[in-house]
């Protein structure tokens, strides 16, 4: 038996994804996300499992997983942190923060800290241009208006296994 399998509950969720769309192929993205959350990465055996579960060609599943940057075919550190360095964030401290991260955390050429705990990548726009610079953690938690001090607090929490608390950003309605 393979070390990679979905539980009955996960298979039911995947079938619910499939019912939302006209074809099973359309359920590939939420199924990949579910698999990544479960297994930590989308390695070749995990991609095979997704393909078999959805009844799709493995090459198609691999093509989708390698096209989108949110899917990790190989995890390089325990925590993935992506800093937006696109125009607004880059001009509002993101570029300097990226340099600070590289220097103080001694990232290797793949963006991983020496202890393997943090894996940093630059990100294109994360859609929060009014609160730059923005940091995304594991594709599911955003940290806004990041400074070196705020980053250090986030890293301290992650070292203890804690995501930072949800941060609500008020919508500004210019009148």
Domains assigned to the chain: 8-67 (1.10.10), 79-159 (3.40.30.10)
pTM over 0.75: yes
Structure tokens at 155: 């890293």
Measure the CA–CA gap between 93 and 90, rounded to whole angstroms.
Answer: 6
Q: pLDDT tens for residues 81-127?
A: 999 999 999 999 999 999 999 999 999 999 999 999 999 999 989 88
Q: At what angle do helices 95-104 and 148-159 cross, to 10 degrees?
A: 50
Query: Which is nearest to 121 in space by CA: 109, 130, 133?
Result: 109
User: Cβ atoms within 10 A of the Cβ of 73, count?
Assistant: 14
Q: pLDDT tens for residues 27-59?
A: 999 999 999 999 999 999 999 999 999 999 999
Give Cα 124 to chain centroid, integer Å: 13
Q: Is the pLDDT of residue 1 over 60?
A: no
Peptide bond into 133 cis (omega under 30): yes
State which H helix or E strand residue 82 sits in: strand 79-84
Measure the CA–CA gap between 143 and 127, rounded to whole angstroms.
Answer: 12
Task: State residue 169's pLDDT score.
Answer: 74
pLDDT confidence bin for 156, thresholds 50/70/90: very high
Q: Is the pLDDT of residue 24 over 80?
A: yes
């Amino acid at each position: 038996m393979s070390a990679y399998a979905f539980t009955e509950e996960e298979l039911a969720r995947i079938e619910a994804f499939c019912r939302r769309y006209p074809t099973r192929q359309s359920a590939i993205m939420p199924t990949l996300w579910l698999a990544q959350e479960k297994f930590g990465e989308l390695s070749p055996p995990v991609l095979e499992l997704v393909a078999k579960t959805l009844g799709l060609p493995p090459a198609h599943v691999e093509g989708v997983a390698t096209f989108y940057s949110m899917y990790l075919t190989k995890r390089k550190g325990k925590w993935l942190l992506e800093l937006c360095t696109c125009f607004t964030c880059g001009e509002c401290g993101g570029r300097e923060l990226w340099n600070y991260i590289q220097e103080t955390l001694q990232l290797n050429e793949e963006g991983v800290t020496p202890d393997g705990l943090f894996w940093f990548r630059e990100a294109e726009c994360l859609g929060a241009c009014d609160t730059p610079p923005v940091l995304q953690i594991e594709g599911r938690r955003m940290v806004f208006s990041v400074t070196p001090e705020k980053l250090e607090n986030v890293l301290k929490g992650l070292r203890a296994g804690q995501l930072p608390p949800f941060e609500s950003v008020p919508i500004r309605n210019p009148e």
